Structure 1
Amino acid sequence: MTKKTRSEMEDEFSKAMIRFEKDYFGRGSVEARTYILHDMILVRLRGILTPAEQTLAESREGMLMVKDTRRQLFETARPHLVEMVRQITGARMISLHSDMSTSSGERIVVLIVDTNLSNPG
């Protein structure tokens, strides 16, 4: 089996994250960019909020509700992300960190793996 380059893994991971969001949340982000730095996979997702969530997030209470609901949903998806990391990179995911901004409609995801992916092969 041929080892993937870092840029191939980044591209594949971006596409997989959009597909995952669409399948799991019912709506995918508008754009995904993935950066691999040593043992970290950093994903920036843009356009993640539905129009209803954008409207709800206009108030502080609504913003907190959207963030909390999205956080809980994302945490339940952890097994799917573990498998995605394994399939694309061959690495084992050690930890997952995520935050989102309701004002920009972006989510940042940081996945820590057990291997240095910057220099595959």
Structure 2
Amino acid sequence: MPTMKSKRETERDISQAIIRFEKEFMGRGPLETRTYIVDDMILVRLKGVLTPAELKLAEAEERDRGRYLIKQVRQELIQHGRPLLDAVVKEILGSDPISLHTDISAKTGERIIVFTLENPPKFRDS
């Protein structure tokens, strides 16, 4: 079991791990990442995750098709990377997430990842 940390330290550790995942697995890190732990959920908000090519595709003449394709590819990639994400959360919190939900805005370049946990994590007092 990991050493008990404060909620803020744990949120920071999760943000850093997600940034590493995005850089190593997805090929580009976000411009900004914030993590919030609320009861038995972990909400991760990533800004600026789209590549320059994806941004161009999202603004192309057939904008809806381009955005749809970006969302589909990113969804597929995150599903293939899910075991890595689950392992990161388990390493930091000491328990496996039970589900992962995600969506990306091809318009703003923002991604939201929500993990649900079996039980709310415990923290030491800040």
TM norm. shorter chain > 0.5: yes
Partner of 2:5: 4
Runs of 5+ unmatched residues, structure 2: none
* Unmatched segments (≥5 aa) in structure 1: none
List aligned pairs for 1:24-43, cutoff 5 A: 24-43=25-44
Q: Where do residues 75-94 of structure 1 align in structure 2 (5 Å cutoff)?
A: 75-94=79-98
Q: Deviations over 1:10-62 (max 9, x none)?
A: 00001110111000011111111000001100000000000100010121111
* One-letter amino acid of the structure 2 residue matched with residue 33 of structure 1: R
Q: How high is the sequence identity, in percent, across the aligned residues?
A: 47
Kindly report the root-mean-square deviation, in angstroms, between the aligned alpha carbons of the 2 structures. Answer: 1.1
1:67-82 mapped onto 2 (5 Å cutoff): 67-82=71-86
TM-score, normalised on structure 2? Answer: 0.91
TM-score (norm 1): 0.94
Q: Which runs of 4+ in 1 moved over 6 A?
A: none
Alpha-carbon distance in structure 1 between the residues aligned to 2:37 and 2:95: 12
> How many aligned residue pairs are there?
120
